Amino acid sequence: MSRNDEVASVLEAYADLLEAQGVEYKPSTYRRAADNVREHPEAVEDLAAEGADAVQRIDRVGESIAAKIVEYVETGDIEELEAEREKLPVEMDELTAVEGVGPKTVKKLYDALGVRTLDDLEAAAEAGEIRDVSGFGEKTEQNILAHVDFAREAQERELLGDARPVAEDVLDFLRGLDAVERADVAGSLRRWRATIGDVDVLAASDDGEAVGAALADWERVGEVIDAGETKTSVRLNDMRVDLRVVVDAEFGAALQYFTGSKEHNVKLRNHAIEQGKKVNEYGVFDVSDVEDDDDQRAGDLLASETEADVYDTVGLPWMPPEIREDRGEIEAAIEGTLPDLIEEDEIRGDLHTHTEWSDGSLSIEEMVAGAAEFGHDYVCISDHGEGPGVFGDSGLSDEDLREQAEEIAAVREDAAIEVFHGVEANVDAEGNVGDASDDVLADLDLVVASPHSGLGDDGGDQTERLIRAVEHPHVDVLGHPSGRLINDRPAMEFDPAALGEAAAAADTALEVNSNPHRLDLWGSAVQAAIDAGATIAIDTDAHSVAEYANVEYGVHTARRGWAETADVLNARSAVGVREFLG
């Protein structure tokens, strides 16, 4: 895996510090460069090894930024960035995680009150000191205080989309060691939760100490936290990685145990106890004749080598990690009614994408060609319509959409796949959908309606607002229903079962937005919506070709909600999609 994300994050950190100092133009220049570094198909470290000229092959990366990238790859630091940090010695990431606090706010509060950390910010708000700073007030102070806890929790959790690439890098490294027989991720990462605490990795080896030492000596490791015979903890890309090493014969039992969830494992253990057996990280044991069960390996060993053996020995089928959350999976396994979950290769198209017509980075032709190359049978171009929302008030007007229809018609003539023309309309605070006329909406192939405004977490239950949107006669898909941005903005409160029932009645699909910052709907909400009869659409909300790959996060999120192929709109053919759209 490349270091593109890591380097992009460094450029974004530099942009924040420049913005805080009131520097004009440069922050946006660095952020655009960061976006392009993140999406560039070549590994930035490989380009840096060739020199700054090679780095400038990345779009919007000029000579100055290229030189800084080379400096960072070679030394681990950027001298000018460190100088900016000395001017403003604050924890920028954790402070700007508070809603309403940007880099300039951080600078003001540092200058006025010496606020450096989230704890400092909370203390200043509780003491009533922020309201007295010029440009603030009591309302702003209370809003900051209300969002500190959410920001603190966010700092403790890593995005799934950030953690998976790190885990894959670690697995590649471990599997390349002669001493390792097999390795896999465990914990919430293996269950594809939207956020994780640490990256948990399990390896099978007869020489745990050597495997741990090899990981600790790996050049990619930034810090060794702990090193031992069976457990080693390191920091990689500012993420904690916990490696546990077991003997190969016990790998299956350990993988099941350390994958969790805790609630799933408790239910599994109780199921085993009813049969005179015990399940733990060492295996499944017959303990019917055991009087003293303090020894974890006491009893006759029945299974331990594979997860399938562990489940089979207690009379259950193997269960996909995504559903091991104690939401009825043990009972379904007993009854023989486990779902046949959707697979990534069953997704046949993307119904929510953006181009340079709104806030995407590529042309319609490029996004269509990229979808075809990715393997899709169809794609929907759904740029932002007019009205308040993520693209401000400058989205596409009726006239723009008609003009765009002409361009899409021209692209269709040479396209290798089917192209739908749509729009992403905003769902306002009352549930009204966008500003486009009914005539224009009726002429479009597909309308995605998404909440972008009125997303404050103080608005109470938003179920009726969302139901009104799905019942709009021209709405086909409700996009990212909760409006959440993971670790940045909480989800709106709503009843997913009631929304699912309304969506089913209106023949409107509910989206699982695959962007790792959204993953909206999430597992339990998907499960409730599907149980209520709703159809879901797994879309990427792609703003570039590279983002089509995010579909894997959407698929696994849908799997966490027990979604089967028949539940997913874009697992159907283009003909099937058109039938759904009516």
Q: What local confidence, expressed as pLDDT, does residue 456 receive?
A: 61
Q: What local confidence, expressed as pLDDT, does residue 4 receive?
A: 86
Which residues is 426 bridged to in the sheet? 450
Q: What local confidence, expressed as pLDDT, does residue 149 receive?
A: 87
Q: What local confidence, expressed as pLDDT, does residue 458 receive?
A: 54
Q: Which residues contact 211 (CB under 8 A, 6 or more apart)?
A: 174, 177, 179, 180, 203, 205, 232, 243, 245
pTM, full prediction: 0.84
Interval 438-477: pLDDT, tens: 999 999 999 999 999 888 655 689 999 999 999 999 999 9
Pick the CATH number of 344-581 from 3.20.20.140, 3.30.930.10, 3.40.50.970, 3.40.50.150: 3.20.20.140
**Given the structure tokens 């919007």, which residue do they identify?**
60
Q: What local confidence, expressed as pLDDT, does residue 41 receive?
A: 81
Q: Which CATH architecture has domain 158-246?
A: 2-Layer Sandwich (3.30)
Residue 573, exposed/middle/buried by CB under 10 A (0-12, 13-18, 19+)? middle
User: Does 3.40.50.720 match the CATH number of domain 4-156?
Assistant: no
Interval 504-522: pLDDT, tens: 999 999 999 999 999 999 9
Is omega for the bond preceding 521 within 30 degrees of 0, making it cis? yes
Backbone phi and psi for residue 278, each to the nearest 5 degrees, phi listed first: -130, 150
Is omega for the bond preceding 261 within 30 degrees of 0, making it cis? yes
Q: Which CATH architecture has domain 262-335?
A: 2-Layer Sandwich (3.30)
Q: Domain locations in the chain?
A: 4-156, 158-246, 262-335, 344-581
Report the number of secondary-structure helices (H) and strands (E) in the chain.
25, 17
Low-confidence ranges of the chain (pLDDT < 50): none
487: phi > 0 → left, psi -120 to 50 → alpha, else beta; which? left
Count CB atoms within 10 A of the CB of residue 539: 29
The SS3 call for residue 59 is coil
Please spell the DSSP secondary structure of 205-261, one letter per residue.
-S-HHHHHHHHHH-TT--EEEEE-SSEEEEEETTEEEEEEEE-GGGHHHHHHHHH--
Say how far apart CA 44 and CA 2 lie, in whole Å: 7
